[in-house]
Amino acid sequence: KGGNRLKIILRNAANVIGGLKDTHLSNFFRRILNKSDRATAISATARKLGVIIYNMITKKEPYKPPTDYLFLDEKRKQGLVKQIRKHIHKFDLTPEDLGLKST
């Protein structure tokens, strides 16, 4: 029953976050704002804020904002490395099987 009140509070907080300078969430807000309008940026930031609060409550851990962002090509490289490691583990390959020197 309190969903509307919570939505209003999160959207107001997201609107305030949009006016802040150089924080994780304000940078997120500006990235969304560059792609679309202010209402969409407020909604996206409110959702992100809600997910952060939910995770803090359920996991009982303080919020640790990311300090730096990876560029898209770095994310792709990390994803490929993760897939390769998974396949190596799945097929029980050794460095010798891959043609690498064992050290």
Q: How many domains does the chain have?
A: 2
Average pLDDT over residues 6-28: 91
- pLDDT of 11 reads 95
The per-residue pLDDT for range 39-90, each reduced to its tens digit, is 999 999 999 999 999 999 999 989 887 766 666 677 778 888 899 888 888 8
Is 50 found in the same domain as 30?
yes
Is 51 found in the same domain as 10?
yes
Cα–Cα distance, 20 to 18 (Å, whole number): 6
The answer to whether the beta carbons of residues 65 and 55 sit under 8 Å apart is no
Is 48 found in the same domain as 9?
yes
Q: Is residue 47 part of a domain?
A: yes
Domain span including residue 25: 5-59
- pLDDT of 66 reads 76
Cα–Cα distance, 29 to 14 (Å, whole number): 8
Nearest-10 Cα torsion for 3, 8, 11, 13: -110
